[in-house]
Chains A and B, each alone.
Chain A
Amino acid sequence: MADPLLSVRNLSIDIPVGGGTLHAVRGIDFDLQRGEVLSIVGESGSGKSLTSLAVMGLLGKQIDRRADRMDFDGVDLTRASRRKMRSLRGARMSMIFQEPMTSLNPAYTIGDQLTEALLLHRNVSREAARDRAVELLEKVGITSAASRLGQYPHQLSGGLRQRVMIAMALMCGPELIIADEPTTALDVTIQAQILRLLVDLVREMDMAMILITHDLGVVARVADKVAVMYAGELVETGTAGAIFNAPTHPYTRGLLRCIPLPGKTERGSTLGTIPGIVPSLIGDISGCAFRTRCEHAVDACRGDIPRREEDGHMFRCVHPQGRRTEEEAPA
């Protein structure tokens, strides 16, 4: 297999908070090939957005990011200068945020904001940038694109703004696009439309995408690979097929029981819930973070958790099959 476009090893993110350190992301690894869609799934606060901001180099100054390496097409992002990061951001990797209502600058026109990245990174004329903007606006399904360039963000609906955000991310033809819950803030009726559009464009332009979401239904439809995140750790990663057909980690299985999936959920059956709450990540954390909510928890869950991997399907659990077998029954 070719070298991955993005390869992250042992990424940790610490946030200083009043009276301690919040270990928001702890030692995660993942790879992304060109043209691949990786979906990171997890509850709010599991660290998925922080992970994407870490890749972009957009974490706040007070947040501590550490990684053995974070290679983007041979460039180690952990060692890249601010200048180097700036030349990558918006040009070769770009991001679509969750909040289309507030992610556009209210003081500038759509045209100004669309062309900004292209004018910053490529040596093109204003006219060429404008043409590119119109082309992309049409591509994301915005009608009378040319006249939209002079409009301000407040004149557009949420769905239109998110289309603009997508067009904006595509301006320089990036190799990697990170979409952080791109449809959550939108009306349910247009969520599917926008997502479909995004995925089609990614496939058409042969880009790699990290799609961050808590919606497994979305993942099932679009992802090549899935990474399941819980309380700052990746508990299970694998191909979409493996995750949906043979979920192994108790958390992944719990998640899948919570959503109706076509062809998987039996008619008339009850959807599941996961009892308990996400633990506090302040202070030292050892063992499996899911143990307080896990029906298979044993004493060994407080110790080191083995990383089990087979055919690219990885999960972290003390139980070899991700569940307690007869001989492991509690004393």
Chain B
Amino acid sequence: MLQFILKRLGLAILVAFTVSFISFSLLFLSGDPAAALAGETASGEDIEALRKLYGFDRPMLVQYGDWLFSALQGDFGESYYFKLPVASLIAERLSVTMLLGVCGISFALLTAVPLGVAAAIRPNSLIDRVALFLSVAGQAMPSFWFGLILIVVFAIQLGWLPPSGASTWRHFVMPTIVLGYYAMPAIMRLTRAGMLEVLNSDYIRTARAKGAPEMRVMFKHALRNAIIPVVSLAAVQMGFMLGGSIVVESIFALHGAGFLAWESIGRNDLPTVQALILIFSMFYIVFTFLADVLNAWLDPRMRSS
């Protein structure tokens, strides 16, 4: 178990460094970052000055090393637009995004797991069909469009919920539904497939042969085994959701990290964008690492090996 965790941790760190290099390299995609930063009207001297100021005249690897060293200490440089430290800008916005992510994944799990279990218990029943319909529709639903429809119906027509902002819990209802519905289909399908497989297994027959009540068979014996892969998927989905929060935050004008990313991309604020890509990646890496550890702990076969 410990060996597994250490190996997995090593991989996570290696992935993190690679990602950091890629997100740093984005800066150089445009060819000359100084020229891009200065804008089209800038003179050659202005560009040269900027190049010196930001150190673009040094070799790329040196710049990367410098950036990474600072980043490891929590210093992501200064935002071109706000002229403030990127780290504090992001820290300020991250809580909204994290809250949204936690709400979203909770919503997804609380709908997907019961639906998946119910669908697996009674295949081809009405509830199975409803679950299938919801998941097929969810996978095809453009989340920006879904969000706009919710705004039209619940904010404009019915007036039940505020269309934008982040000041009360009511502001989070629609964004949570949109983000959660994005993650729900995959979790539902995996729960259903896992339950179906487990319900056909010999040990479920053994449990029934002991005279265990059906609810106990379903939840204690079946779900406990079927839920193991769902844990990993939920972590992956949570990582994707944080990355996808950019769409949802822009629709509902939630001023979180996703919204900041959207603004910063529009403003060519590269240090902020680099840092955000890195931070969203780190979340994904940390979540999947924790999920793998949790998984290994949930599965006795892995725990003891």
Direct A–B contact in the complex, CB atoms closer than 8 angstroms = yes
A88 in contact with B211 given A106-B225, A107-B300, A152-B301 (CB within 8 Å): yes
Asked if A120 and B212 make an inter-chain contact with CB atoms under 8 angstroms apart, the answer reads yes
By beta carbon, the residue of chain B nearest A100 is B202
* B201 neighbours in A (Cβ, 8 Å): 102
What's the minimum C-beta distance from A52 to chain B, rounded to whole angstroms?
10
A95 beta carbon closer than 8 Å to chain B: yes
Q: Please pick, from B202, B212, B225, B298, the residue contacting A116 in the complex, using a CB distance under 8 A.
A: B212
A307 beta carbon closer than 8 Å to chain B: no
B213 beta carbon closer than 8 Å to chain A: yes
A58 beta carbon closer than 8 Å to chain B: yes
* A104 neighbours in B (Cβ, 8 Å): 203, 206
| Interface flags, A304-316, vs B, CB<8A=1, else 0 | 0000000000000
Count B interface residues, CB 8 Å. 20
| Interface flags, A90-102, vs B, CB<8A=1, else 0 | 1100110101001
* B8 neighbours in A (Cβ, 8 Å): none
* A121 neighbours in B (Cβ, 8 Å): 211
Give CA–CA (A197, B153) in the complex, Å. 71
Asked if A105 and B209 make an inter-chain contact with CB atoms under 8 angstroms apart, the answer reads no
Contact residues of A between 74 and 102, Cβ < 8 Å to B: 85-91, 94-95, 97, 99, 102
By beta carbon, the residue of chain A nearest B224 is A107
Asked if B209 and A152 make an inter-chain contact with CB atoms under 8 angstroms apart, the answer reads no
Asked if A106 and B211 make an inter-chain contact with CB atoms under 8 angstroms apart, the answer reads no
Name, among A56, A104, A107, A116, the residue most crowded by chain B CB atoms within 10 Å (CB to CB): A107
* B267 neighbours in A (Cβ, 8 Å): none
A103 in contact with B206 given A91-B211, A116-B212 (CB within 8 Å): yes
A167 beta carbon closer than 8 Å to chain B: no
A152 in contact with B207 given A99-B202, A107-B224 (CB within 8 Å): no
* A108 neighbours in B (Cβ, 8 Å): 224
Asked if B209 and A90 make an inter-chain contact with CB atoms under 8 angstroms apart, the answer reads yes
Dominant secondary structure of chain A at its interface with chain B:
mixed
A154 beta carbon closer than 8 Å to chain B: yes
Asked if B203 and A102 make an inter-chain contact with CB atoms under 8 angstroms apart, the answer reads yes
B52 beta carbon closer than 8 Å to chain A: no
* B170 neighbours in A (Cβ, 8 Å): none
* B202 neighbours in A (Cβ, 8 Å): 97, 99, 102-103
What's the minimum C-beta distance from A232 to chain B, rounded to whole angstroms?
21
* A120 neighbours in B (Cβ, 8 Å): 210-213
Asked if B203 and A105 make an inter-chain contact with CB atoms under 8 angstroms apart, the answer reads yes
What's the minimum C-beta distance from B302 to chain A, rounded to whole angstroms?
10
Dominant secondary structure of chain B at its interface with chain A:
helix
Asked if B211 and A89 make an inter-chain contact with CB atoms under 8 angstroms apart, the answer reads yes
A90 in contact with B224 given A97-B205, A152-B304 (CB within 8 Å): no
Give CA–CA (A299, B209) in the complex, Å. 44
A155 beta carbon closer than 8 Å to chain B: yes
By beta carbon, the residue of chain B nearest A91 is B211
By beta carbon, the residue of chain A nearest B207 is A105
Q: Please pick, from B203, B209, B301, B304, the residue contacting A89 in the complex, using a CB distance under 8 A.
A: B209
By beta carbon, the residue of chain A nearest B216 is A120
Contact residues of B between 198 and 230, Cβ < 8 Å to A: 201-203, 205-213, 221, 224-225
| Interface flags, B132-165, vs A, CB<8A=1, else 0 | 0000000000000000000000000000000000
Asked if A103 and B211 make an inter-chain contact with CB atoms under 8 angstroms apart, the answer reads no
Q: Please pick, from A94, A95, A109, A154, the residue contacting B301 in the complex, using a CB distance under 8 A.
A: A154
By beta carbon, the residue of chain A nearest B206 is A103
Asked if A58 and B210 make an inter-chain contact with CB atoms under 8 angstroms apart, the answer reads no
Name, among A103, A104, A109, the residue most crowded by chain B CB atoms within 10 Å (CB to CB): A103
* B210 neighbours in A (Cβ, 8 Å): 89-90, 94, 116-117, 120, 168
What's the minimum C-beta distance from A326 to chain B, rounded to whole angstroms?
51
Asked if A154 and B206 make an inter-chain contact with CB atoms under 8 angstroms apart, the answer reads no
What's the minimum C-beta distance from A38 to chain B, rounded to whole angstroms?
19
A106 in contact with B300 given A86-B213, A89-B210, A117-B211 (CB within 8 Å): yes
What's the minimum C-beta distance from B61 to chain A, rounded to whole angstroms?
48
Name, among B207, B208, B211, the residue most crowded by chain A CB atoms within 10 Å (CB to CB): B211
What's the minimum C-beta distance from B281 to chain A, rounded to whole angstroms?
33
Extra contacts besides A56-B209, A105-B203 (6): CB < 8 Å = A103-B205, A103-B206, A152-B301, A154-B301, A155-B304, A168-B210
Q: Which residues of A contact B (CB under 8 A)?
A: 56, 58, 85-91, 94-95, 97, 99, 102-109, 113, 116-117, 120-121, 152, 154-155, 165, 168
Q: Which residues of B contact A (CB under 8 A)?
A: 201-203, 205-213, 221, 224-225, 298-301, 304
28 intermolecular pairs with C-beta atoms under 8 Å apart = A58-B209, A85-B211, A86-B213, A87-B211, A89-B208, A89-B211, A90-B209, A102-B201, A103-B203, A103-B205, A103-B206, A104-B203, A105-B221, A106-B203, A106-B225, A106-B299, A106-B301, A107-B298, A107-B299, A108-B224, A113-B206, A117-B211, A120-B212, A121-B211, A152-B301, A152-B304, A154-B300, A155-B304
